[in-house]
Structure formats: structure tokens, C-alpha cells
């Protein structure tokens, strides 16, 4: 791959799994130094650090175990990334969780956790990382929102609210940096083949008394006209475009990658 990110540094949150790991890999392949963050089994985190580290020329990639539901931990992660990488050129706010229930049964603690991790952590990370970008006169911020940042589905009150808020925050930050060589954009994927999305198939099959394949087709991909999962690499390619050469005019956008969901 062309080293279009040679000399760049990136902090990617929630990068021990799924979309975040895919973005971290493609950035490292393109020559960036990347810091990882997220939870998981120690051996899986070690594997991800070694894999990304190898792409960066050896050693383990830097990693923060910050729990992004806690604002001070988010700020600490940004400080650690600035120390480990020298600076943060690219910030990808990707960490997220999901919980599904009707609004009148939705547990308060799950609501609070989704708002904190999927939404508020983006604010705390941007607030902490932006001064460095302004000082160096270059930066790229990507918030991984969702098709659910643009349209709703039942039983996802916290997730849909958080993702709509992420799109609003993306636009606000974009306007504030518009005259600088800094951009802030949101990526809005439909259903992507990751542990977060695949975990929704089993409960849907149970709820409707159908096979997992049937549940996938009837209750998840029913929204997605392409009738197939979006793959992690497809989202990573969009994230690479947004930080590579030639994308500086794209600012404040909420870019869909959803097999036609939003067109319907």
C-alpha cells in the first residue's frame, strides 16, 4: 500500500475489535503510527498490539486501556497518546456499545453508558486533542456514527439518540475548524460484520422463533437494500480516504456506507 500516512500519527478508540481494529490496521499499513484503545481478552489485545506494531516497524503498538465512559480517563488517554506518539494528527472516535429494548423498559444504566461511551467520549477526546491540532495547523477527526445517526429504528433509544448527537457534534466542530487545515467528519455505516452487530442476530432469532439466517435477513438486513453485511475493510477504506491526500474539502459530512439504507 502507498505510504500516504507516512509521518502521521493516529489515536483510534475502540480499536481492539471490529471497525476500530480495521481502521488502525489500514492506517498502520499506510505508514501512520497508531495508538490502540479498547477492552478485550489480554491475549487478543496483545495480538492486536503485535500485529499493528509489526506494520509500524516492530515492537508492540502503544495502547491505552482507558474506559471511555469516564471523562477523566478519556483526557488521560489523549495525554498518553500525545506522549507515546509525539502528537495526535488523526483522532478516530470509534468506541461504542449497543443495547436493545423498548423505551419504557430500557435500563437507566444502559442508557447512561451508551450516551457516555458512544457520544460524550467523542466530545472529551476532541476537546483534549484539538488544541494540539490547531497549534500544528493540521488535523483530521473522524467520528464513527451510524446509519442510526441519520434515521431511527425501534428499541434503540439510547443508541439512536447518541449517534444523532454525534452527527450534530461533528457538524459543530467542522464549522469551528472550517478555516483551518483541520476537518471533522462522521462515518455512518449500516450493518457491518463485527461482534457488535453479529451479537444482535441470536436474540432476534429467539424473539421471532426463526433461524439466525432468517433473523439476519428479515430483521437486520431488511433495512439494507444490498442485503449483505458491509465489511470492516470497506469502512476502513472510507476512514483512510478521509485522512489521506485530497480529502481536505470534505468537512462536516455524515458519509453513509450502508448498502443503500438511507436512499430508501
Instruction: Based on the residue annotation, tell me whether 159 is a catalytic residue of this protein.
Output: yes
Return the number of the residue (106 or 138) whose C-beta is nearest ligand NAD: 106
Question: Backbone dihedral region of 60: left (phi > 0), alpha (psi from -120 to 50 degrees) or beta?
Answer: beta
The binding track of 111-150 with respect to ligand NAD, each residue x by CB under 6 A or -, is ------xx-------------------------x-x----
Query: Contact, 189 vs 235, CB < 8 A?
Result: yes
Q: Is 192 a binder of ligand NAD (CB under 6 A)?
A: yes
Q: Is 195 a binder of ligand NAD (CB under 6 A)?
A: yes
Count other Cβ atoms within 10 Å, centred on residue 93: 31
Identify the active-site residue in 27, 63, 159, 219.
159
For ligand NAD, which residue of 8, 9, 10, 16 counts as binding (CB under 6 A)? 16
CA dist 180 → 136, 164, 183, 257 (Å): 10, 25, 8, 27
Helix or strand run (H / E) with residue 94: none
For ligand NAD, which residue of 5, 11, 20, 174 counts as binding (CB under 6 A)? 20
Count other Cβ atoms within 10 Å, centred on residue 213: 10
For ligand NAD, which residue of 56, 69, 170, 256 counts as binding (CB under 6 A)? 69
Q: Is 38 a binder of ligand NAD (CB under 6 A)?
A: yes
Which residue in 16, 7, 29 sits closest to 239, CA to CA? 29
Q: What is the dihedral of CA 193, 196, 197, 199, to 10 degrees?
A: 110
Restricting to residues 160-189, which ones interact with ligand NAD according to CB under 6 A?
189
Residues binding ligand NAD (CB under 6 A)? 14-20, 37-40, 67-69, 94-97, 117-118, 144, 146, 189, 191-192, 194-197
Which positions are annotated as active-site residues? 159
Amino acid at each position: 500500500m502507498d505510504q500516504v500516512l507516512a509521518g502521521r500519527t493516529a489515536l483510534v478508540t475502540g480499536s481492539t475489535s471490529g471497525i476500530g481494529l480495521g481502521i488502525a490496521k489500514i492506517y498502520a499499513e499506510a505508514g501512520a503510527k497508531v495508538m490502540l484503545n479498547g477492552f478485550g481478552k489480554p491475549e487478543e489485545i496483545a495480538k492486536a498490539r503485535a500485529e499493528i506494531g509489526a506494520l509500524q516497524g516492530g515492537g508492540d503498538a502503544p495502547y491505552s486501556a482507558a474506559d471511555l465512559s469516564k471523562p477523566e480517563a478519556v483526557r488521560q488517554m489523549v495525554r498518553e497518546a500525545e506522549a507515546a506518539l509525539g502528537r495526535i494528527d488523526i483522532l478516530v472516535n470509534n468506541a461504542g456499545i449497543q443495547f436493545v429494548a423498548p423505551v419504557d423498559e430500557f435500563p437507566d444504566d444502559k442508557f447512561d453508558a451508551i450516551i457516555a461511551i458512544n457520544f460524550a467520549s467523542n466530545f472529551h477526546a476532541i476537546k483534549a486533542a484539538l488544541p494540539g491540532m490547531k497549534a500544528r495547523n493540521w488535523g483530521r477527526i473522524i467520528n464513527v456514527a451510524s446509519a442510526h445517526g441519520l434515521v431511527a429504528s425501534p428499541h434503540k433509544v439510547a443508541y439512536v439518540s447518541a449517534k444523532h448527537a454525534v452527527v450534530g457534534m461533528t457538524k459543530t466542530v467542522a464549522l469551528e475548524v472550517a478555516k483551518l487545515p483541520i476537518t471533522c467528519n462522521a462515518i455512518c455505516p449500516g450493518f457491518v460484520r463485527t461482534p457488535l452487530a453479529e451479537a444482535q442476530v441470536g436474540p432476534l432469532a429467539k424473539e421471532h422463533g426463526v433461524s439466525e439466517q432468517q433473523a439476519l435477513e428479515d430483521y437486520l438486513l431488511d433495512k439494507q437494500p444490498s442485503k449483505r453485511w458491509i465489511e470492516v475493510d470497506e469502512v476502513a477504506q472510507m476512514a483512510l480516504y478521509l485522512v489521506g491526500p485530497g480529502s481536505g474539502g470534505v468537512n462536516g459530512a455524515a458519509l453513509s456506507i450502508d448498502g443503500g439504507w438511507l436512499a430508501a
